[in-house]
Amino acid sequence: MIATPTDQELMELLDRIAAQDEPALRSLYERTSSRLYGLALRILGHKDWAEDVLQESYLQIWRTAAGYRGTLSPPLAWMGLVVRSRSLDFLRRRRAERLHINEEFDEARFAAEQDVDAGPLQLAEAGEQATALYQCLERLEQRHRELISLAYLRDLSHGELATQLRLPLGTVKTWIRRGLEQLRRCMARH
């Protein structure tokens, strides 16, 4: 059993990982994986999911180790934040997948229950809603509108948007959240 590593040992390993030192990543994994796996397991509640998230987390650590700043947080806390973020992202993806499946089922059931085409009143209401949505989207800041449009019209994840637009993932999430809040308030007025 490996003794609990000191912050200094972990920071040195992260420095080596930032220089693409694979043995350093292996050593970091051996010294910290049991604690980080425990964190992922507490959040996710499923062993297979926790193992998958742990693997994703170490890949993230490999890619972002150069951005770690020891003056901002202890190394284990920073790695714990990576695991927590990956775990919550995993849960969001699972929830979105379940919602998507439910939406497809609801749409299919709704279509099967409809014997006639939509009437003039329903078409008028749908047109009014579309106009209101367009007007509300136009009121958003350009960056918020762009991210929301890409996310929903092209069905891109936050990670895919961050990669495609070369923006930090946190920035993408914040801009989308703010844009959706503004859009929600605007649509509530209509």
Q: Is 179 helix (H, G, I), strand (E, B) or coil?
A: helix
Give the distance, in angstroms, between the CA of residue 190 and the centroid of all CA atoms in the same chain.
30
d(CA 80, CA 184): 33
Residues 6 or more apart whose Cβ sits within 8 Å of residue 118: 126
Q: Copy the structure tokens of residue 91.
A: 């849960």
Q: Is 71 helix (H, G, I), strand (E, B) or coil?
A: coil
d(CA 155, CA 135): 22
Tell me: the pLDDT tens digits for 59-100?
999 999 998 888 888 999 999 999 999 999 888 888 777 665
**Contact criterion met (CB below 8 Å) for 152 and 138:** no
Q: What is the pLDDT of residue 189?
A: 82
Q: Using 50, 70 and 90 to split pLDDT, how confident is the model at 134?
A: confident
pLDDT of residue 112 exceeding 70, the answer is no
Give the global pTM.
Answer: 0.52
Nearest to 28 by CA among 66, 2, 64, 67: 2
Tell me: the pLDDT tens digits for 157-189?
888 888 888 889 888 899 889 988 988 888 888
CA of 177: how far to CAs of 139, 148, 151, 156, 158, in Å?
A: 15, 9, 12, 15, 11
